[in-house]
Amino acid sequence: MKILERLTPDRPLGVDFYRNSTDAPACARLKVWSQGRPIPLSERVPVLEHMGFRVVEESTFRVATPTGDASSAQPDAPVWLHDMQLERLGGGAVDLDLLGRRLEAVFLMAMRGMAEDDGYNALALVAAMPWRDIALVRMLSRALRQFGIRYSQDYMWATLTRHPAIAERIVALFHARFAPRQGLSVDDRADHETEILHEIDTALDAVDSLDEDRILRRFVNLVLAAVRTTYYQLDRDGLPKPVMAIKFDSRRIDDLPLPRPLYEVFVYSPRLEAVHLRFGKVARGGIRWSDRPQDFRTEVLGLVKAQQVKNAVIVPVGAKGGFVPKQLPVGGSREAVQAEAIASYELFMGALLDLTDTIAPDGQVIPADTVRHDGDDPYLVVAADKGTATFSDIANGIAQAHGFWLDDAFASGGSAGYDHKVMGITARGAWEAVKRHFREMNVDIGKVPFTAVGVGDMSGDVFGNGMLRERTTKLIAAFDHRDIFIDPTPNPGRSFEERARLFALPRSSWQDYDKSLISAGGGVFPRSAKEITLSKEAQAAIGLKKERVTPAELMSAILKAPVDLLFFGGIGTYVRAPEETNDQAGDRANDAIRITGPELRCKVVGEGANLGLTQRGRISAALAGVRLNTDAIDNSAGVNTSDVEVNLKIALGRPLRDGRLDRPGRDTLLASLTDDVARVVLRNNYQQTQALSLAQRRGLEDLGFQQRLMQTLERRGLLDRAVEMLPDDVEIAERRSRGVPLARPELAVLLAYAKLSLSHDLLESSIPDDAYLGRELGRYFPPVVGERFPDALTEHRLRRDIIVTQLANSMINRGGPTLIVRIADQTGAAPDRIAAAFAAVRDSFDMVALNTAIEALDNRIPGDLQLALLEQVQNLLLDRMVWVLRRLDLSGGLAGIVDRHRAGIAAIEAALDHVLPKPAQLARAGRTSELAAAGVPEQLAQQLADMPQIGGALDAIRVADRVGRPVEEAAATWFAVAAHFDIDRLSIAARKIVVADYFDRLALDRALDQIGDAARRITAETMADGLSGPAAVEAWTKARGSAVDRVRAAVQEIAASGLTLSRLSVAASFLGDLAPG
């Protein structure tokens, strides 16, 4: 009667395991009371079999219950009693005194759906394991499935139930690591773990099966790799939370697929499974609703790999999460499915926050409610992704309910954030890459109509915004998951207007396109069609000479179409390398459509979407002549915008807390900064693609340094070339012999890794605390924020990280991916000193303004000339950085160094008309005229023509300081020395020497540096008697006699006779002999 009285509509089941006095030890009996309906055998029997029982016989009765019982929530609801006789599978006694309550709990939880029904439930019978501990073991097994273990769930539960003592010890090890017992010291906890591990190791020695041994050790390994858990947390009612989460140190997990994140959180309940991967303590990335229950981590890993590279431009490193709702209503409405997905998402976000520390208003870290085997970890930021585009406010509401310090900065893009689709920011960023590709072919797509095909539809953010970037776009074909659109000869203006209408139409599809506006032979065809008849016009437009085609054939043909642009804005991987299989592409849904890189006939690929091509596919396309970057480069504007939003909200959190700003005022301020944020973000897209073009322009010249960079990163454990599809040393040697440099997609990966490694190194140094370099903080935020709330920037929680990110981006964008390894190998300097030298040279020569002026010439001068001018500035930067590191003491602060040299450079530039020798004057005037004739504004043309002379300004300033004379006199003498020995011609010829070998490159740079050293010493000597300019050189030469004449003749002969590296080294040695250091 007690069980009957406890039955309610919410808890309609009651159970009792018992035994009759005549029953055998291996037998047990079970009574199940069910309110509201009888439970079919088909529901009961599998649960009991998974628990390790066989149902021998069963009887069902309807129970007469008293009517009108006020204590019952549903007094007239019928109750059924199922009485079953059970027998233990495999024999063996059933000790109900020990196991009865635990068996009842497991059965009830499985029947209620609060525990999954599988073979792990037998652990209650064979190992006396409580149902929550069984759920823990099941969670570890589900994690192992996602981590790529090759054994099935059935095999793993069979193994644990076959070795119940070891299974129990594995759970005991977990409790020893994490049970929140008061008064247990760290050492005591570690000692207890060691004892249990010894017991497990001893027991494993008796396991005969190698596979079973491996399975058991993988469970042990997961427990040891765990650093936090929510397992012991209780809800407001004091009950265990229904969702469990474990945070792992990914580097400690055995056999984990590469690349390994720093941390990952696995989240489990019968309702969902989820994973969140992070490559650093400060990391961000989107949360995806996955439809791949068996391998969603593989999907997320592929995305976070791209995210990690993409995040090189922002403060956090890469992160990504994915969740699989396991109880979506079968056959349910769209609304019902969405509701369950949202509920799963909420559980996922709550579990992540339950594991994460937070920060108090005073800056103190408040630990999460868990035993921690890692340090403080309070930074957790998420973003939207596939299926979660509208979930940001949901996530922020959960963060606010948790009291999480980031408040509504936890998930970017919510109602008080930047709407990426409204801004069109991801597509606009990708379009910067597209414009650059065409601009470097001397095509201005803002004015010249161009043909395009694409993947996506106008309702989508990236594709829709992308196809509205230019009115000159002639979209001849596109497809999404529903339809195929073909418009063989579109009118650019009318088709643009129609695409804009579809973009504004909620949930539009290609079927909504006004068919009367489609050119002759075009149409919209459903992908579900058995066959499509192509007109001659359509065949000609997409380059497919076939009248009747399947939808798959047509979509493949669209990807291969002979057009100007292929733009990816939809989900899927459509291009692989010839040597790759479709399985390796990892997108089975598009196997029938996918093509190879060399089959592309477009001129340019724009990757607005993620993973449109495999990395090998990109490389093969690039080697075949297609212009493209990577998805991480092209569509980084979205993550960049989100990061700026988060950091703005963190900054404004200070005035928000102290009352200088209220919430509506903050939201208004954020909205007013939309255009400023977009400008900052798009500037990054512009400069990153420009950095790639400059690196590509250097070609084989930089291959040695690129190889050196890869080797250095590998030794530090920061790069796995195989994972990133970068060539090994053998392949590099083979490419060098064929004269084939790295492809642009490979350079894109190196660019990202160069930034990430430099950021890491600078963050560990005192560079972000330098007052001069701290100015980078002001360049990150819109000016109005610093003007109104200066302390919001100086006291920003991520101040050091932002400074480092800004500086690292500027350094690598301007100096190239190999900047650090190149300068370090030439000077032995550490990254922090290299950063200081970079800032000193950049600001002394006012290179920001100079580069900006050259960049303003987009589509006004030939693309190759524009890159050549930028390369000229880059060469000056690299050369003078080495000079600074070898000759200046940077420890006293940069401000004084920059002020002194900027003033000296300006003085020399103003005096060039008077101090340059006649031949140099003529060359300068000729270069100015040449540039002006090519479309360069006269003032800028003059600056660029001055650059070869201005490069020696630092030497002249140093000589002036040494001899105590005006810098103009030192410059006149420096130029006279250079003319006397033909040093300018020697230097120009030296830069044309092609060297692919790393050590030859070092030797070339060192020889040039030695020539500069010798020239500086000679200049100082010639001024010793009070003379300057040509007169000083003439007097010095006369005094030294024939020794100078011999060296001069030898150097001039070397410069005129076809310069080689060995000859250059000889010239450097001759000049050095004239003025020993």
Query: Catalytic residues, which ones?
Result: 320
DSSP for 147-170? Answer: TT-SS-HHHHHHHHHHSHHHHHHH
**Cα–Cα dist 315/773, whole Å:** 16
Query: Which two structure tokens, joined as six digits, stand for 480?
Result: 């999404």
**Cα–Cα dist 341/324, whole Å:** 8
Query: Which two structure tokens, joined as six digits, stand for 4?
Result: 């009957």
Spatial CA neighbour of 273 closest among 145, 369, 373, 164: 145
**Cα–Cα dist 704/995, whole Å:** 9
φ, ψ at 321 (rounded to 5°):
-130, 155
**Cα–Cα dist 392/642, whole Å:** 11
Return the H-helix or E-strand segment holding 575. strand 575-576
**Cα–Cα dist 407/649, whole Å:** 9
E strands, 200-271, where?
226-229, 244-249, 263-269
**Cα–Cα dist 864/214, whole Å:** 59
The total number of residues shown for the chain amounts to 1077
**Cα–Cα dist 192/199, whole Å:** 11
Q: Give the other-Cβ count within 10 Å of 780's Cβ.
A: 23
Q: Which residues, 6+ apart, have CB-to-CB distance to 832 below 8 Å?
A: 761, 762, 765, 766, 767
Q: Give the other-Cβ count within 10 Å of 514's Cβ.
A: 12
Cis status of the peptide bond prior to 259, with omega within 30 of 0? yes
**Cα–Cα dist 838/832, whole Å:** 10
Residue carrying the six token digits 């009248």: 547
User: What dihedral do alpha carbons 340, 345, 346, 351 form, nearest 10°?
Assistant: 130
**Cα–Cα dist 347/265, whole Å:** 13
Q: Are 456 and 607 in contact (CB under 8 A)?
A: no
Q: Which residues, 6+ apart, have CB-to-CB distance to 803 below 8 Å?
A: 767, 768, 773, 774, 776, 777
Q: Which residues, 6+ apart, have CB-to-CB distance to 1018 below 8 Å?
A: 977, 1036, 1071, 1074, 1075
**Cα–Cα dist 1008/1014, whole Å:** 10
